[in-house]
Amino acid sequence: MADDRVPPGWPAAVRPPGATDWERTAVAWLLDLCPSEYRAHPALTTRPLALSWLAQRHVVAQGQANAAAKAAARSELNDRVDAAAVERVLEVLEHEHARLRAAYRAVGLVDEALQGRRYVPRL
């Protein structure tokens, strides 16, 4: 069931703004988008806005790496694996592209909520 307190694209793992521990769930989810080593840094784990800023950049960088891999896959994998395997890799990259687009939107929504902006559904 959809929660009318959050906009479409809100990450399922993050509680709605205002709910008990919502910021804790936001931090945990944002950390999942970043290198695991970031969990050891209180400068990020105790400052959700800094973490969301950094998570946005990581998602963008992953998208850029994904695009570069898609562009190079046929020419660079051709000598390593058969044509069917190259096609499977391209399918994985397409799937990952869609996931990253959704993650980018979700991080933006969480970032806005962390800044105090609240979603108001339209009729």
Phi first, then psi, for residue 74 (nearest 5°) are: -60, -50
Q: For residue range 45-69, what is the model confidence (pLDDT) as tens digits?
A: 999 999 999 999 999 999 999 999 9
Instruction: Flag whether 26 is in a domain.
Output: no
Helices 83-114, 48-77: inter-axial angle, 10-degree rounding: 170
Instruction: Flag whether 38 is in a domain.
Output: no
User: What's the confidence (pLDDT) of residue 122?
Assistant: 78
Q: Which domain holds residue 100?
A: 47-123
H-type alpha helices, the chain: 22-32, 42-45, 48-77, 83-114
Instruction: Flag whether 71 is in a domain.
Output: yes
Instruction: Flag whether 39 is in a domain.
Output: no
Instruction: Flag whether 17 is in a domain.
Output: no
Instruction: Flag whether 96 is in a domain.
Output: yes
- How far is Cα 108 from Cα 110, in angstroms, rounded to an integer? 5
Instruction: Flag whether 18 is in a domain.
Output: no
Rounded to two decimals, the pTM is 0.89
Report long-range pairs for 34-39 (Cβ below 8 Å, ≥24 apart).
34/58
Number of domains in the chain: 1
User: What's the confidence (pLDDT) of residue 8?
Assistant: 94
- How far is Cα 39 from Cα 37, in angstroms, rounded to an integer? 5
